[in-house]
Structure 1
Amino acid sequence: MIAIPFIVFGSLFVWTWRRQGFFSIGTYIMLLYTIISLMSIFLDANNFYAHSCKKLQIELFPPLLYCFLLIVCFYPYITKKLPRISPYVSPGSGRWLDVMTYGYFAIFCIILYVSLTRIEDVVLSNSLAEIRNEQYTGETVSFYDHLLGFPRYLCAACSILAPSGYVMTLIFLFNVAFRKKSVLFHIMTLCGSLSQLLIAINIADRSNFAYWILLMGLGISILFPYFSRKAKVGTVVLLSGLVSVILVYFMAVTISRFDDRSGGTIGGIVTYSGQSYINFCNFISYVQPEDSLCEIFPLTTRLAGGESYFEVASKVRSTYNLNISVFSTFLGYIYSISGGLVMTLFVLFYNRVSSFVLNHRKQLLELGDLVRIWAASLVLVLGLFSYFFSFAYCTIALIIWIFLSYRLNPNRRTRRKHVGAFMRSKAVCRV
């Protein structure tokens, strides 16, 4: 049973690679799910089970359901290849890109300045595990908790906007591929994507660092073929240095939290990356949650004063003696709170949304279209662990991304003029 997803997703990965090539959203998604399926096998073979992933009997139905529902979600991405991306940026879209770069860089600088002392304490601390546990016990405080008045409100706004800065990973790669900007401008764009990571360091969190790497990989899978040779070399060097720093931090937190386990740090990493499938199966077999949509409509739930995800999860844990605040993919996350009907309806809805953003008759894919496709695919890419849009700030990020996606597209008249010129130039080149 443990090997079923690896066989299914591994086969789909090879099939998608042959149809779409290595640099495509579909191939990237299938690679990710193949890897975590392989990690599940390593977890089981080495008995790296822990409180976050209990060893329970896996029956036949949960693995088949897991594969079937994920394939329904994968289908639009593995059967449709994106058209060519338009290199054209209208003057209006260019101004929006510049404002985004300077705005998110300013947020990065504010968060870095305010939390620098706290970051130094966390990084140099020998008790990263204790700092992280404060998040689960409710004892943690915000990075701006010591401020008063306008600075406090400003930092609160930065905290709300920080998750939406993840889109700057895509904008950074788009700028490198198509816009002639200085190296400093590109670095500022990249820094704009790191604000949420600074906040994560304050609570010794690793998940946001994993998210950033996954999102950068997603952007590369889309845009890397459009890079010039010089841009490829420069981007690889820049990202290699940044990813190395991220991995050092990630390993430091991992060692602090898992070094005392029987499996040690390696066992902790395998459990971290391989538990999602096993936990999904455990939830399906041993948990029957009551109805709650707090993770589907987190913003309205919060504004209405309803129960949060962690409050509902605590009730489920006390009822079934099984911790559900663990990685279980976005499917297991939704099921553990809302049950099978909501999970199934969500899968069908997501399939339709993905088909909608991918099915367009444009000859060239514009940046706004690309942002919508990128935002939709986050459910799967970050869904390796849980459901990304299940918290209010992430829902606000989605609203911001949808708004930006329409602002970044040129008007119809400009679009027709540009597409016609581009296609004529391609025809001349063929002659």
Structure 2
Amino acid sequence: MATQSNPYADFHRQCLEASQSWGEQLGAGLRWLDDVRSEGRSLFAGLELPTRKTEAWRYTPIAPIVQGDILRLRTTESADAPQGITGDFYTLTFHNGQLTASDIDDSALEAIPFSSADAAGQALIKEYLGKTFDAARHPFAALNAGTLQDGALIRVKKDSKALKPLQIVHTADVSGDPASSYNRVIVVVEAGSKLELLETYVDTKERKVFQNTVTEVFLAANSTMTHYALNCEGANQIHTGCVFVEQQGGSQYEQHAFATGGALKRRDINVKLLGQLASCKLNGVYLAGGREHVDFHTTIEHVAPHCVSEETYKGIINGKGKAVFNGRVHIHRDAQQSSAAMNNNNLLLTNTAEVNTKPELEIYADDVKCAHGATVGQLDDMALFYFRSRGITRSDAHRMLSRAFVESVMAEMEIETAHAYVLELAERFYNEGAQEATA
């Protein structure tokens, strides 16, 4: 009797084979990463792909990845590749996983591309590369290490501030066969320095693209970073992205996340508060409609005492869309006088929309102030009636209430062009929801 193959095991094997062949195709400037890729492949080889039985992936099946026919690289450039947000920014562009453009000219800010790093740059990159996470707990981060195409190390020099925000654009060709890309961003903000960073993932229209990215952030004492993570890929695209942050004493990290739905979109955000008086603030908005899927998993580790964390995520789900939020705050035994607050609020616009939310507190210290909460609801019929009684159409009322639900979070984006960019995408989503509600 013929045995039936396991598609997950087959895909796992195909990933290893592809990563081996891709490493041989990379340019000479990236061959110094061969040992890093080899170690990543070894780690990935010893892992199993997550299934419904894997707790952290229970509500996010990876069938779109396994069955997506995405294991091919694209190295050509397209003249009509979509652009990032317009504004007064420095810009780095990863196109098809390769760093293709950089316009940084700032004495406070240094960018070292992996592909053109000299011996000193390579040594600096290896000092930080892969140091923020345990690849055994993050299978797609291990896959990123094993198939690493390109990357960049961003360094803000001590006691300085970049003259302009830095935008890193992740894009791909808008036509051609399904393909995947794997790149790494390392951000080092030295003591007393400040950085505003935008990571923008843009829509490649109807083309299926799998983007697997890892961003590692190192904040030295009394440094500050504001991070905009804007995942604006289209409904056909697949994204697995990880952000790992390590904070030393007195540092401040603030992230503003925005995500539209995709075939599968998974964002892992992990923050370690390693020094006293460090603080972090995570804001997020996610919008999923049609048959889209979006998943946010956050972990904040209070390792040192006297640290503060604040977390607010809001989601709107329409059609047959699905969303997942899993937020975890871990207060370590020595992290006395920690303060942590987490809130997740969700709005379901249809009876077929679905959200799974799981806020978690894990506390081992006894002198702390912690709170968490989650809500799931629908538009208030009385509020809709109030609008209708004043001559406002049902579709307009639908849009206005949806907008009001998440705007308080998006309004905290201080870069005006970034705020305007996500507002435009959100308005399209509200319009689609209003049309479906009144159809």
TM-score of the superposed pair, with normalisation by structure 1: 0.23
TM-score of the superposed pair, with normalisation by structure 2: 0.23
Pick the structure with more helix per residue: 1
Structure number with the bigger relative contact order (C-alpha 8 A, sep ≥ 6) is 1
